[in-house]
Amino acid sequence: MHTETLVLGLGNPLLQDDRVGIRAVELLREQLIPVPTEVLFTVGFEVVDKVMGRERVIIVDASTTGNVPGTITEVSVEDIFATHTLRNSHAMTLGTTLKTGYTLFPDRMPKDIKIMLIEADDIDHFSDRCTPDVEQAVHDVVRRIIGYIA
């Protein structure tokens, strides 16, 4: 059973700012940060498979809640259901998936999950690059992640 920290990047690699989670993992790998990383293109039950058995998981994903593009919001699974604006973003489906995991596999799910959401500016156009404000936020998130695992 894996017990270390996992950084899980979520997103669509083809849609401009929806790729923030993937971009965060790319930066961690480029900087040779010694932390296991995974990328998923969905928030389905594959997420549960990736996080089970871990002590701590940091998930990076895009959000579309009406905040200023590049805004970073750190939330827990419980926050997703308690915060009105998150109910209209990717976070709701992610939260539902994780809650299901905790219901079905309570002893195997992480004790600590931190979800880092980056407000997207453009998730409608095809691109392998984030918009500038969102790209800067990804770098800020990576610095936070390095601080958490240090």
Check which CATH number belongs to the domain holding 16 and give it: 3.40.50.1450
State mean pLDDT over 104-127.
94
Lowest mean pLDDT among 18-32, 70-84, 87-101, 134-148: 87-101
Domain span at residue 138 reads: 5-149
Taking Cα atoms as reference points, which of 112, 64, 111 lies closest to residue 86?
64
CA distance 112 to 7: 12
**Mean pLDDT value across the chain:** 90
Counting the structural domains of the chain, the total is 1
**DSSP H or E segment with residue 50:** helix 46-51
Dump pLDDT digits (tens) for 18-53.
999 999 999 999 999 999 999 999 888 899 999 999
Q: Is the per-residue pLDDT at 59 higher than 70?
A: yes
Residue 142 one-letter amino acid? V
pTM of the predicted protein model: 0.91
Degrees, nearest 5: CA angle 144-71-67? 155
Sheet holding 37-40, edge to edge: 37-40, 5-10, 56-63, 112-119, 72-75
Residue 15 carries which side chain, given as an amino acid letter?
A: L
